[in-house]
């Protein structure tokens, strides 16, 4: 697991994302209105998803849902609905409150899908 971007941005809705990135940033666009969902210097990339630290979220846009799913190796995932400008994007964000020991680095970190797009500048690879 490693961070894929030095900064990232994502938006909900049909609006395309733009911008340059140095810390991680998530933006949401519900119709015309846009909002920053989260911003952090790093996120963890795992299985093609970018997991943002829980402290990076602007919680005003997140509503906990009763939805859940089970990953055989990460554990039980819980979901958030993202609401921006009165428009909801159901279960568009998820996190693992108590992941397995194999996935402990993403505990509480939030990933996004379903009309949420993440962009960023790739983090340089470190020589091994």
What confidence score (pLDDT) does residue 18 get?
33
Q: What is the 3-state secondary structure (H, E, C) of the chain?
A: CECCEEEEEEECCCCCCCCCCCCEEEEEEECCEEEEEEEECCCEEECCEEEECHHHECHHHEEEEEEEEEECCCEEEEEEEEEECCEEEEEEEEEECCCCHHHHHHECCEEECCCCEEEEEECCCCCC
Q: Name the CATH topology of 5-122.
A: 2.170.150
- Residue 26 confidence (pLDDT): 53
pTM of this structure: 0.75
Closest C-alpha to 62, from 98, 33, 31, 26: 26
Q: Which residue ranges make up each domain of the chain?
A: 5-122
Give per-residue pLDDT as tens, 33-50.
567 788 877 888 899 888
Tens digit of each residue's pLDDT, the chain (128 residues): 444 444 554 444 443 333 333 344 555 544 445 677 888 778 888 998 889 999 989 899 999 999 999 999 999 999 999 988 888 889 999 999 999 999 999 999 999 987 776 766 666 666 76
What's the pLDDT score for residue 50?
A: 87
């Amino acid at each position: 697991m490693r961070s894929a971007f030095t900064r990232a941005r994502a938006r909900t809705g049909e609006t395309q994302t733009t911008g340059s990135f140095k810390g991680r940033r998530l933006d949401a666009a519900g119709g015309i209105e846009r909002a920053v969902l989260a911003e952090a210097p790093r996120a963890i990339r795992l299985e093609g998803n970018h997991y943002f630290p829980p402290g990076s979220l602007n919680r005003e846009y997140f509503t906990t849902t009763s939805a859940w799913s089970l990953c055989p190796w990460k554990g039980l995932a819980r979901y958030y609905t993202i609401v921006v400008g009165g428009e909801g994007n159901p279960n568009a964000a998820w996190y693992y409150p108590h992941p397995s020991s194999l996935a402990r680095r993403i505990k509480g970190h939030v990933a996004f899908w379903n009309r949420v797009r993440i962009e960023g500048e790739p983090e340089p690879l470190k020589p091994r």
